Amino acid sequence: MNIITYPGSPFPLGATWDGKGVNFALYARHAEKVELCLFSTTEDDVETARIKMTERTHEVWHTYIPELEPGQLYGFRVHGPYEPENGHRFNHHKLLIDPYAKAIAGTINWHESLFGYQFGNEDEDLSFSEMDSAPYIPKAVVIDPNFDWEGDVSPKYPYYQSVIYEAHVKGFTQLHPDIPDEIRGTYAGIGHPATIQYLKDLGITAIELLPVHHFITDWYLQDKGLTNYWGYNTIGFFAPDVRYSSSGVLGQQVTEFKNMVKALHKAGIEVILDVVYNHTGEGNEKGPTLSFKGVDNASYYRLVEDDKRYYMDYTGTGNTLNANLPSVLRLIMDSLRYWILEMHVDGFRFDLASALARELHGVDKLSSFFDIIHQDPVISQVKLIAEPWDVGEGGYQVGNFPPGWTEWNGMYRDCMRDFWRGEESMLAEFANRFTGSSDLYYDDYRRPTASINFITAHDGFTLHDLVSYNEKHNEANGEDSKDGDDHNRSWNCGAEGPTDDQWIIDLRNRQKRNFLATLFLSQGVPMLVAGDEMSRTQGGNNNAYCQDNEISWINWQHADKSLMEFSKKLIHFRQNHPVFRRRRWFKGSEIEGLGVEDIAWFLPTGHSMSMEHWDQDHAKSLAIYLNGRGVHTRGPKGEILIDDSFYVIFNAYHDSLEFTLPAEKYGSQWEVAIDTFRDQVEPEQPAIYNAGDSFLVEGRSVLVLKNHVHATEPEANE
């Protein structure tokens, strides 16, 4: 095959079609020779052309081939020293996926040729394999970047207006009865009108998708008939995973993803991606050579200083990308900008974000990773959400990320779970978490919206299972239930798993409503896991990462319609009342002109709580007054925001308690707005109480009372 080549350009990295041909550029600092391999079809075992890339600029190898078109399949072979003890694992017998591939045509067909060393050799990974991996590895694809966005604009909701819905592309749509069979489990399924209407009706402002960067399923999982369902095993940071494409593998997956985003944006729904820049799917020294390891191992991974054969593992996956190196920082930033500018996504949730912040062995919130993002005019303007921990020493960093970042608040999750299962814990922490976790974020000049509040996430029990199981039941994972967290802070309400006992069923349903009400009444940004609003169960499996089946998929036919309706009303209730989604911290002091605080805390007797009450770990009940004239912020047109006032009663005690309303200055008349015991949100004929009235609040329930603010009342100063 006679191929004409031009020198080309070192940038942009990857394969770039300009309408006349394709420029290929690969960063490989320590390489001695790089070959570009072209393939005609996805079934080809051998390349149709192998082109030596003779141009090298600033450690980037590059060439330009005129007349090549989108859909072209390619890979690289990189030559250099095979010296694992020095951090080098070059092996030109291994076809490599372009780290900047915009699309990848297929998935890995596991075979020992994918490994740089010889299986069974006594020298293990120090040995050298000469088996060709080309027949078994998917090829990168040259894409056509052109797309008609039709004036697409991001909804750009501020955090205080946001309600995040964590979902899996396949799991959400695979069993949806109103989505055509041929697009279930795909990007097109997420962009389908049935999906979008459901999200809008529920009140969701942003869908946070579990990883869609092209990932691999580990060989050991495949051998057990399992898969890497969640996708936290990235091998292509620019490529939307081909498994979620209904339209094709030669770049069509890119177009389908863009169509999904465009449809969601038209409906006013943001798209947030769960991204995994802390490691790759290549594992440790015993792992395969698929891309980065063969392109330039020492330029991508954190290696043990005194023996570079081995990898630093802060992620529990075998390797950690070295975000301190310029080549890796550039890769991450280029990837983020690509998904923002070319794919129009609205933000990112960073898996094990602490691993990205590590300088040497510590975690430094002022590391180069954060510095670069902070000054980047594109990345700094989207939603940035950290999972603020990793598995290394000192990796738990909740509250320590810099301004501009929000965080999954693991302390919120743990506190609320303990509160509602009746664990002895201080009311002071409950109060802190309910009001936005000022102990974590206030001193850094951050706002309550720095806290992403959640009760459950993809990792762990679903909401239904949280109130139905004391122990994990992960037998289906094939690891004798040794995987998954042992400390779930769950309570089965009196029976393990399914039961016919109506008293237990009623209690579980009430507990679900209690958790949801607490989540959506708390200050901060609520995150709901897809299916929790309809009582989705995983049968007690708290680590369903490998279950691409009915264990993980949402069963729409068995949806709990009552809980769905409660959840929908609850979310809209939050959206209609700015007092529950404040942009600024409570002050706890009297508001000028009113003589009443913006927030006040009460005992069941109606008397204010004193310091000694906060330290009682046996206390399970309290009431919170929220002043509708103490929001302290203005609306989008500069108007002073005034809301109704609320009296929120939490009774986590097992029995009913008598509560008395406080003095009239806090409100003369109150009506029931939410009652989790009676499954009510803004009932048509609410019960009415007056200041000083006493009434019973049922055990393990939330009761929210509303006091209407009248226009004739004096306005509070900001």
| Residues labelled catalytic | 351, 387
Q: What's the burial of 712, exposed, middle or buried (CB within 10 Å: 0-12/13-18/19+)?
A: exposed
Q: How many CA atoms lie within 13 A of 51 on its CB side?
A: 25
Classify strands 33-39 and 49-52 as parallel, antiparallel or unpaired: antiparallel
3-state secondary structure of 349: strand
Nearest by Cα to 347 from 207, 160, 181, 546: 207
Residue 180 is encoded by which pair of tokens? 């055509």
Rounded Cα distance between 410 and 399, Å, is 10
Contacts for 611 with CB less than 8 Å, ≥ 6 apart: none
End-to-end CA distance of the chain: 75
Amino acid 583 reads: R
Concatenating the DSSP letter of every residue in 155-184 gives ----GGG--EEEE-HHHHHTT-TTS-GGGT
Nearest by Cα to 352 from 305, 408, 300: 408
3-state secondary structure of 73: strand
Give the number of other Cβ atoms within 10 Å of residue 415's Cβ: 23
What's the farthest any 2 CA atoms get from each other in the chain? 92
3-state secondary structure of 382: coil
Report phi then psi at 198, rounded to 5.
-60, -45
Nearest by Cα to 435 from 716, 624, 596: 624
Amino acid 424 reads: E
